[in-house]
Amino acid sequence: MLMKDGMNSRLLLDCAKSCILASSPVFRRQQFLIRCVGGSIDHQPHSRNMQALRSIEVDSESLIRAITPALDPTRHKGQAGNIAVIGGCREYTGAPYFAAISALKIGADLSHVFCTKDAAPVIKSYSPELIVHPILEESYSVGDENKRSVSSKVLAEVDKWMERFDCLVIGPGLGRDPFLLDCVSEIMRHARQSNIPIVIDGDGLFLVTNNLDLVSGYPLAVLTPNVNEYKRLVQKVLSSEVDNVDAPQELLSLAKQIGGVTILRKGNSDLISDGDTVKSVSIYGSPRRCGGQGDILSGSVAVFLSWARQHILTADSNSNLSCKNPTVLGCIAGSAILRKAASLAFLNKNRSTVTGDIIECLGKSLEGISPAS
């Protein structure tokens, strides 16, 4: 009798342990994994996503060699690219400098910055290489009665230069002042009328997300959102949350919904789509995530976009480029060069790598792919 009672007690204890184990999160996760391994349904979205990215990976180095113009002594100043950055205010002077100087380091001949009067002396002090225009105004310096006339003067000043530019970069260091954003909106509309490509980053994406008509249906517009900027775009345009499982298809849908703009979704692998195709750039860059790398990217994309556009206009029908959209080509090239420069900078500086170190590696990275001589 005592033996039977002892066996029953042990049985009850074992059952209690089993119940506790079955209710634990660890046990439930183990059971889930077992079902996944044994089941016929594919429960490995991360693996599928990685396979999808590999299938759309592009040969960025061949593309860069194809669109990078030769250094020809017969060419004159400006033919290798004339880029303008619209951005820079009291709080933010580094971002427009990074974008503009990166354009020069890639190989553009001229690089302009249109900024507020407060930002201009600071940006000028960073480098004599940049052409700085202190013409933008913020609300605090403009009375309500003068806003219309000041806005007209700002637009007229930019219009004097507009036809000379091969590409505009909108947003680095722009800030979110309402009057300033209204002026920049008008600049964007005039750029569209002149058929000038625009690369939109930083606070320019804040402006566009709230005013999609500024870029909707414009095939020469490029958006370069980071993870948070992309999330806001998806919520606004697709009325959903970000789908990381089928990221390429989601990006394709997003670009198509905005009317065929090109979107460069920044991430571990950069995804690029114009609504017709999706490309991936997965070259290893750097684990160092210092601020300013997005500004380097926007300036680099602007130059490569202008080079790609010129290449497509002048290349014969035997061009070996499978993609003929200059905005997509510019994004691929800009992404690849930034990643290579970041990797090279990190090899030299490791944890202390900053944006300036990456900028100094842009030229060497391009030279390694498309030698000047």
Binding site membership: which residues?
A: 173, 226-232, 266-270, 285-295
SS3 141: helix
Number of H helices, E strands in the chain: 15, 9
Cβ neighbours of residue 30 closer than 8 Å, sequence gap 6 or more: none
Rounded (5°) CA angle 69-74-80: 35
Annotated binding site for ATP: 266-270, 285-294
Do 329 and 305 form a contact (C-beta atoms < 8 A)? yes
Distance between CA 1 and CA 146 in Å, rounded?
Answer: 101
Per-residue H/E/C for 272-332: EECCCCEEEECCCCCCCCCCCHHHHHHHHHHHHHHHHHHHHHHCCCCCCCCCCCHHHHHHH
Locate 104 and state its tokens.
């020069």
Cα dihedral 129, 134, 139, 142, rounded to 10, equals 170
User: What are 114's strand-pairing partners?
Assistant: 86, 133
Alpha-carbon distance of 89 to 107, in angstroms, equals 26
CA distances to 103, 108, 170, 226 from 75, rounded to whole Å, are 18, 13, 28, 37
Whether the Cβ atoms of residue 190 and residue 158 lie closer than 8 Å to each other: yes
| Residue list, annotated binding site for (6S)-NADPHX | 173, 226-232, 295
Coil, helix or strand at residue 59: coil
Q: Name the one residue in this structure whose structure tokens are 């490509």.
A: 197
**Structure token pair of residue 371:** 């030698």
